[in-house]
Structure 1
Amino acid sequence: MRTAWCLSHLLCLTFAGSIGPLLPTRKVHSGLESYKYIPSAWGRKEIPSCWSHQCPRSANFTWDFYWDQILKLGVRNLVLGGCKAYVTGVLKCWGWTPCKFAALKERVASRGGKILIDLDFDGPKNLYNETFIVNSIRNLTKYYPGDGIRVTYGPQYFDKRSLVKVLKIAVETANELNMISAIRSEMGAKYLGPFDWNILKQSGLLRIVKLMFVDVVAWPKRTPLFITDKFSEDLIANVSRAGLDTDKMILQINPCTPQINGDDTMGYANMIVDAHCDPNGNGTCKFYEMYFNYFPQHLIKSKIPLAKKHGLHGLSMDRNYPEQTDLLPWDERSMFYTLFTNM
């Protein structure tokens, strides 16, 4: 059994070398860690969603090319999604294989980076228990030994206090396995958001977790303030008061562009390609008689010195959302390119 594993690992490393030479990092490490969340690793590729003929209609690139490009542009750490644990005991990672994972991990590690696995749980609320959560994480690491585990939310209809209990068990399990434990504060009804800091503080979760991804988005009001440095600094202060040390905090930006004084939401790609707004403009864009806020390049870049000033662990680029996307990472107008080539 051991011989078979070693042979498999050797084949994986050979494969890693076959997908091209390791490219040097774009810049000397700035002290801030850079993260990119890929929600469907080896599954559905992220491409811009927009209406112009300039938008690609299909992902005409390979995963090997994609990994090459994003690492070349300055990403050090990856958060890989696509794995889900079911209360029936089944663990599914769509499109993943141990060989693909080992090859990518080798490549990321060669640049000093790490891979976190974003693990979802699914099943009826009444079947959730500590044994299920612990066994799911242990089972995952047997096949895909990442550097850490990130858990965002539990099953639907969990109240926030029950959700925190699930997260705490997952964090404790990752810590016991000497892995990086991570959680995420995402805006939405079933996520931990700005109104849940007291719950987090009372739970003690933020004292034991190693990393927390904090989303910089407008919630619940559609406000232009979310793109400003003041909004991010207030967010940092709120999370700090809830008990999280700033050196555990990662600010995460995403390509969603909310309508001002309305309920519609578009994507950064729509603003730049369809509405022809300036990537380095003032952050307000008119599109079909509606006004939207988007992250202009100068306000993306400004988050870098802000993060250093407050001693944050790093910055992250979130995934694309349905019809709310960034441009391709290697497009110089993209949020991705702006963030990572300047870190």
Structure 2
Amino acid sequence: MTSFDTEAADAARARQDQLTKPQGSLGRLEELAVFMAGWQGRARPRIDRAQALVFAGNHGVAAQGITPFPPQVTAAMVANFAAGGAAINQLCRAADARLQVEALDLDRPTADFTQGPALTGAELDAAMARGADAVDPDAQILLLGEMGIGNSTVSAALAAASFGGRAEDWVGPGTGAHGAMLAAKQRVVTEGLARHVTVTTRDTLLAFGGREQAAICGAILRARDLRIPVILDGFICTAAAAVLTRDDPQALEHCLIGHESAEPGHRRLIAALAMRPVLSLDMRLGEGTGAAVALMVLRAALECHDGMATFAEAGIG
């Protein structure tokens, strides 16, 4: 597995200390520039090609009254992405990222995880391969997002399986579940956790699915092989990524969390991963939208890092 280039990061940090500003005065922007230097392996990192991948899938557990929307909405939103009408389309245009949407067997929802494993081994392998194959090897940053009716329930189960706690600790309203519907989400997660004992990444994905979460994992692993830094979106995307830490606690070292979602479980998940989101804007849409906004901040960090004059160049001091 590729690792962080400390020599390039040290060179980037040294450059930051020579730029025409008090040391550390750009705060997190300086940290982001150093992060990118270490993963790109050069002191002055660039983003000439940004890829945004959105994976879509459907879930059998949605039939248990856990969401106010029918599974057909997943396909309708994929069509909206294709037509350019979704929030992620606008934000990718603003952030200069190429959007690619991968619909994963929407006509075949995963199995209901309260009744048995959500995915077969073959289905899991196929979804992870789709995620890996979708990564552009020439990209210098990868944004990840998802779409799937019912997948906030799946994400709560993945997070609870990975980090412990009760269903109530992880389940949130998602697309608008309240009252009896929110209770149904908590119930199915509790039932799923009681049914499935998971230890590894593979165990966890097989138990709870879905295909879009598996594809996210495949894309993250492929990006690591290619030394491509990754920006994760909110709760659902982060919960999928976090499953990889069951096998390797350092699996997400090349990843940033784009934003802290308003979905209640996300803050708990961020703390469990000991990561720091780039932004906190009370967003909870999904689709990769928070990652796209974070990319704009990352671009700002690199513009300052690369374009600012040093004190010597400016003839100061």
Given the two structures, how large is their TM-score scaled by the length of structure 2? 0.31
Q: Which has the higher helix share?
A: 2
Q: Which has the higher strand share?
A: 1
Given the two structures, how large is their TM-score scaled by the length of structure 1? 0.29
Q: Which has the higher relative contact order, 1 or 2, with Cα contacts under 8 A spaced 6 or more apart? A: 2
